[in-house]
Amino acid sequence: MTNRIQEMLEKARIAAENALREAEAKFNEVRANLDKDKDGVPDAIEGLMAQAREATERARAKLEEVKANLDQDKDGIPDRLERVAEQAKQAAEVAKAKADELAQAARDRMGGGNKPG
């Protein structure tokens, strides 16, 4: 009976070893199919990385194009922002002049006609 158990165990061991060899062979076959250039990186991943690099370069070029369109005088400040800033400055100057004028009119009404200063 011990012999029979040992035979069964030996057959099970051999079957397990054969299954392991078959699994390793299948794994190596799949891996070889995924990495045909044998550089250690699956070809699909390499393809995705190349696409990502290309997309990054296209995005970078588009960004530079947009920046160039926004800053045609190439001084580092978007041209529209410069115009808005200049308009705001002019509006502030007009408002200050109007405030000075109103302050002077108020002083004149109060009888103190001279500017402080």
Task: Answer yes or no: is pLDDT of 43 > 70.
Answer: yes
pLDDT digits (tens, 9 = 90+) for 60-96: 999 999 988 999 998 988 999 999 999 999 999 999 9
Q: Report residue 117 CA to chain centroid gap.
A: 56
The predicted pLDDT at position 38 comes to 84
pLDDT tier, 98 (very low <50, low <70, confident <90, very high otherwise): very high
Nearest Cα neighbor of 76 from 86, 65, 68, 84 is 68
Residue burial 57-73, b: 16+ Cβ < 10 Å; e: rest: eeeeeeeeeeeeeebee
The predicted pLDDT at position 116 comes to 55
Q: Where are the alpha helices (DSSP H) in the chain?
A: 2-34, 43-70, 79-109
The predicted pLDDT at position 40 comes to 85
The rounded mean pLDDT for the chain is 90
CA–CA dist 112, 115 (Å, integer): 8
The predicted pLDDT at position 92 comes to 95
pLDDT above 90 covers what percent of the chain?
66
pLDDT digits (tens, 9 = 90+) for 7-24: 999 999 999 999 999 999
User: Nearest 10 degrees: CA dihedral of 71, 77, 83, 85?
Assistant: 170
CA–CA dist 51, 49 (Å, integer): 5
**For 116, which DSSP code?**
P
- Least confidently predicted of 32-36, 58-62, 111-115: 111-115
